[in-house]
Amino acid sequence: MKHYDCKYFLMTDVFKGICKRDKTTIFADDAACENFEKARKCKNCNNFTTTDDDLGLCMNKFMAYPEMNAITCNDFNG
Amino acid sequence: MASIQDFAQCTTDVYNYYGDKPEVDIQEREINKQPMTRAEKERRLYFETKSSASVEFPYWYTRRWEELEGEIPIIRRAEALKSGFSHLTPALLPGEIIAMRKAVYLRGSYPMPWLSEMFFLAKEDELYKEAQKMGKTSADEVTTMGQGGGNVTKSAGNVISIAGKFGLRKEEMPALLKIAKKWFNKSVDDVGHKYEQLVPDYQTKEEIMRAVICMFDSGYTLPQGREVMNYYYPLQYGIEGIKRICHEKQDQSAGYPDMDRLYFYKAVHSMLEGMQTWILNYAGEARFMASLEDDPVQKAEFLEIAERLEWLSENKPRNFHDALQLVWIFHVAVLNEDAISGLSPGRLGQVLYPFWKNDMENGNLTREKTLELLEAMRMKFTELDCFASMGVVGGVLSGNTFNNLCIGGLDKDGNSAANELEMLILESAMSCATPQPTLSLLFDEKLPEEFLMKGIECTKIGTGYPAWVNNRVAMEFLLNNFKNEGLGLEEARAWSIGGCLETSPGSWMPLEFDGQTHYIPGGSAPATSVGVHFISLPKVLEAVLFDGIDRRTGRRVYPAHGSKLETYEELWTVFKKYFSLTVEVLTLTNNIQHDIWGKISPSIVNSMLKPDCLDTGKDISHKGCRYNRTFNVEICGGVNLANSLAAIKKNVFDDRNFSMETLKLAIEANFGYHSALESGSFSLTEQVKTDNYKNWLKIHKLCLDAPKYGNDDKYVDNIFREWQHWFSGMCEKYRSLYDEPMYSCQISVSTHGPMGAVTLATPDGRLCGTTFADGSVSAYPGTDRNGPYALFNSATCYNHALSQNSQLNMKIHPSVVKGREGSRKFLEMIKAYVRKGAFHAQFNIVDSRMLKDAQKNPDNYRGLMVRVAGFTQYWVELGKQIQDEVIARTEYEQLG
């Protein structure tokens, strides 16, 4: 588990960001802490299935990719 | 005149100067202010942040676009935008008081494959190779990006570098490639290319692009921008109010002739719904952030943001803070619909003044709080990035986005329009010195002295703003060019600068607030600097000398002229012929690209904002704007052209010092020097001689000693004037997509770097690969030896109102303008230049040795900014081609 996958990770750029809880600067690819909670991403959604090209399908219909944020997706089913 | 010995001397001194040699120690700038705590914190974060791209918006845009196959194009486009806006991940930092941004990252942006999908594909990809064949990547290949600051110049770990600037998470790359390929043969770039090939003589266009005689295409690179925003409708009606207008207009147009109006109003309505979701997503995020917050002050600020956004998602602003937030939302919304540079907020201090004045009078706002908000606004504009190819983002923009905020000028009735809020805008630009928004002061004799002195104080901080622009010359230009569309004197006063220096027409709009009607200025024309994007004049001259061949690549660009060039007149005639051919073919191909842009990817947000699109139901690409004559022909290297023509005239034809054939041999031998590419230095200083140097020394000296522009020397100034008059006249022969005559535009932005890089030595003594003179009336570095007033005489040897702009950069040592007396002297010098009929001047107040030190030790100068050509940028984010040119510019050690 990485900060990158955490609900409380506020990205400032592709390398790093800020923890929304304690406001410290953290690196996206560093290991997450004990307060980790899964972010709403496609890979954490029951409507998402992986395909063999590092991508996936949303609702078996639309191309999607696992790391995409789904915080604004009305169809998210986590 | 400059001689080779002078340049050898420069090698020792490392820079060129006029006047007495400066003191031994590097001189700091006189004024050095600091931002307030809030902005300082954000600026520190900005300095640590890298430019970052994401795929979220293009994913949702493309997904919805595919779903709506067969739908009416403008509706399909609006729905795709709506989906993109609705799904953007909101991000809010502690301490922010103006919320929302382009994309999830602080310096976030994203590819727009519906415009062009080729440049960000892997270089091994077949599509990329196709782009190479067409010459579309030529400018990319000769551009150097800044190696420091926020640029992600190399891939590392889980981050991939795109265009030498943007970082993209590796996990997103497969999705980006898949999305990009969905747009193959469907993007504006691809469809435009299909049809531009129908233009007779299309092959010449490809050769022109390959030779980098033209910097880049127009219709799919930066199809909008270099224009002035108009914030009137949201400020007057709020989003729900505009939706109501759309509803009413829909009812009036459904089933009636000219049905495109119906689809336009429906499209605007849909897009506004997407914006409302976007705003409310941010409000939700603010409430979430508040829920995590222990600090009561910060918690209250998050809740205040949430409340404000919820209000503004429907309603018009209640106060200054609301108005500033709403302006920002619509500014970002336009930037999110297209790849755009130069989207200028215009005369924002006059637009927001009614709200500010009301708050101040009612005791709801203080000057300190205003400054805090204005500094926050500066950070927001500075954080903007434009995702584009290396040739565009590096070679033209230098990573800048050119959001020009104008102050001063005249109001609707012809009185000074300067106000107290603009004084605070100047103050915030000094305390929070950042590249964006850059400032331009619309100089008019009616402006109060106190205001002008505040402008001087700001210029002295050394960041290059405000630029000083002549209000009357701009109005004359506009009245000449837009009278056929109904522009009169009153409306001409509403003008502003779009982009770095593009004169743009505006309108006075009746804002009702606090029981009064306030006429606020705003842009009422579409993008300019579309049409023909940057023709390299020295490169055209090179083709003339070598019978139509690009000597760098050996390829034929133009039909052989077959002329022996036995007289100066013959040379000038062939030059005009080649230049005209270039303008003709590029006008036609770019008209097609813009037509395709309007069909596939029309502007919805910006169209809604621009008078009179909402009244007429026509979008920008259907001439919905009040003024539509904005296509232009941009050039670069005009001063090097004039100097070169003068050198040829003097040495080959008048004095017969050597023959044309000998000159050509000298040029091919680069006057006995290694090329800039080999030496790694892009100015005339610090060049490296070859063993054959002495063979060419005499000729090189004669070329350098020939009359040079910038010294009040009629020999060369007459040549410059002849060029200017012919150029401005010839542009009018070509018709834009909107069937309006084109006009001339003279700014270099950063193109003088890469365009110089592909050009052989020039007859004026400039060496192969070195950067051209910047701007349009700046002297070539080191050649203006007779002081500023001689330079002004040269620069005003023609009527500046003939062209959309002229551009003069000067570098002045900080000691020269020190103190109140220095400020007065400085202001008088600017006034003297403007009174000669000049359009524009801008200044770097800096010790060149500091720049040299910054080049060696970039880590010590993260915050150092310089003026390039119409924009200010962090030194470390400039490519070396431009850095070397700025260092080499003549430094004025005295103003007399």
pLDDT in tens, B552-582: 999 999 999 999 999 999 999 999 999 999 9
Alpha helices in B14-170 (DSSP H): 37-47, 56-67, 73-87, 126-133, 138-141
pLDDT category, B119, cuts 50, 70, 90?
A: confident
Nearest to B352 by CA among B342, B362, B360: B360
- For residue B235, give the 3-state DSSP assignment: helix
Inspect the interface and report whether the beta carbons of B172 and A63 lie closer than 8 Å.
Answer: no
Specify the pTM: 0.96
CA distances from B339 to B80, B107, B303, B726 (A): 16, 15, 33, 33
CA distances from B656 to B81, B196, B544, B568, B593 (A): 64, 45, 20, 12, 47
Average pLDDT, chain B: 93
For residue B794, the model assigns a pLDDT of: 98
**Assembly ipTM:** 0.98
B12's CB contacts (< 8 A; 6+ apart) are none
Task: For residue A69, give the DSSP letter.
Answer: B
Nearest to B418 by CA among B442, B394, B386: B442
Average pLDDT, chain A: 96
Write the single-letter amino acid at B682: F
Residue B731 catalytic? no
Give the percent of chain B with pLDDT over 90: 83
Burial class (CB in 10 A: 0-12, 13-18, 19+), B538: buried
Residues B322 and B308: beta-carbon distance below 8 Å: yes
User: H or E stretch including B842?
Assistant: strand B840-845
Nearest to B234 by CA among B40, B511, B567, B476: B511
Phi then psi for residue B665, to 5 deg, are: -65, -40
Residue B845 lies in a domain: yes
Residue B665 lies in a domain: yes
Alpha helices in B714-847 (DSSP H): 714-731, 752-757, 788-795, 819-835
Residue B362 lies in a domain: no
Q: Domain range holding B845?
A: 4-28+531-602+631-892
* Pairs of CB atoms within 8 A across A/B: 88
Asked if A32 and A60 sit in the same domain, the reply is: no
Phi then psi for residue B789, to 5 deg, are: -70, -30
CATH number of the domain to which A18 belongs:
2.20.70.100
Inspect the interface and report whether the beta carbons of B50 and A13 lie closer than 8 Å.
Answer: yes
For A7, name the nearest residue in chain B, comparing CA atoms only. B288
Task: For residue B653, give the DSSP letter.
Answer: I
Burial B279-307 (b: 16+ CB within 10 A, else e): bbbbbbbbbbbbeebeeeebeebbbebbe
Find the catalytic residue in B79, B117, B502, B877: B502
Asked if A3 and A34 sit in the same domain, the reply is: yes
- Inform me whether the C-beta atom of residue B113 falls under 8 Å from chain A C-beta atoms: no
Burial B524-536 (b: 16+ CB within 10 A, else e): bbbbbbbbbbbbb
- Inform me whether the C-beta atom of residue B83 falls under 8 Å from chain A C-beta atoms: no
pLDDT in tens, B714-752: 999 999 999 999 999 999 999 999 999 999 999 888 899
Radius of gyration of chain A (CA): 13
**DSSP character string of B168-207:** EEGGGHHHHHHHHHHTTTTSHHHHHHHHHTTSTTHHHHHH
B389's CB contacts (< 8 A; 6+ apart) are B116, B119, B120, B137, B139, B140, B163, B216, B221
Measure CB to CB from residue A12 to each of B89, B90, B106 and give the nearest one.
B106
For B152, name the nearest residue in chain A, comparing CA atoms only. A14
Find the catalytic residue in B500, B625, B731, B768: B500
B420's CB contacts (< 8 A; 6+ apart) are none
**Per-residue pLDDT at B11 exceeds 60:** no
Residue B500 catalytic? yes
- Inform me whether the C-beta atom of residue B88 falls under 8 Å from chain A C-beta atoms: yes
The nearest CA of chain A is from the CA of B313 a distance in Å of 17
Inspect the interface and report whether the beta carbons of B52 and A18 lie closer than 8 Å.
Answer: no
Residue B267 lies in a domain: no
**How many domains in chain A?**
2
Residues B119 and B162: beta-carbon distance below 8 Å: no
pLDDT category, B126, cuts 50, 70, 90?
A: low
Residue B283 lies in a domain: no
Mean pLDDT of B9-34: 70
For residue A52, the model assigns a pLDDT of: 84
Q: Domain range holding A30?
A: 1-39
Residue B183 lies in a domain: no
Q: How many helices (H) and strands (E) does chain A have?
A: 0, 6
Inspect the interface and report whether the beta carbons of A68 and B59 lie closer than 8 Å.
Answer: yes
Cα separation, B30 vs B522, in Å, equals 35
| Preceding omega of B317 cis (within 30 degrees of 0) | no
Hunting for tokens 């996936």 — which residue is that? A56
B301's CB contacts (< 8 A; 6+ apart) are B95, B97
Cα separation, B544 vs B648, in Å, equals 13
For residue B133, the model assigns a pLDDT of: 65
Burial class (CB in 10 A: 0-12, 13-18, 19+), B566: exposed
pLDDT in tens, B824-875: 999 999 999 999 999 999 999 998 899 999 999 998 998 899 988 888 889 9
Residue B838 lies in a domain: yes
**Per-residue pLDDT at B134 exceeds 70:** no
For residue A53, the model assigns a pLDDT of: 86
Residues of chain B neighbouring A64 (CB-CB closer than 8 A)? 59, 175
Residues B490 and B461: beta-carbon distance below 8 Å: no
B126's CB contacts (< 8 A; 6+ apart) are none
Cα separation, B245 vs B616, in Å, equals 12
Residues B32 and B702: beta-carbon distance below 8 Å: no
The nearest CA of chain A is from the CA of B455 a distance in Å of 34
Asked if A63 and A33 sit in the same domain, the reply is: no
pLDDT in tens, B582-620: 999 999 999 999 999 999 999 999 999 999 999 999 999
Task: Report the DSSP beta bridge partners of residue B52.
Answer: B108, B167
**Per-residue pLDDT at B169 exceeds 90:** yes
Lowest mean pLDDT of A18-32, B207-221, B822-836, name the range.
B207-221
Nearest to A14 by CA among B48, B536, B31: B48
Residue B110 lies in a domain: no
**DSSP character string of B253-302:** HTTSSSTHHHHHHHHHHHHHHHHHHHHHHHHHHHHHHHHT---HHHHHHH
CA distances from B695 to B118, B651, B656, B769 (A): 46, 17, 18, 20
CATH number of the domain to which B712 belongs:
3.20.70.20
**How many domains in chain B?**
1
Nearest to B457 by CA among B818, B36, B893: B818
* Residues 251-290 (B) with a CB less than 8 A from some CB of A: 277, 281, 289
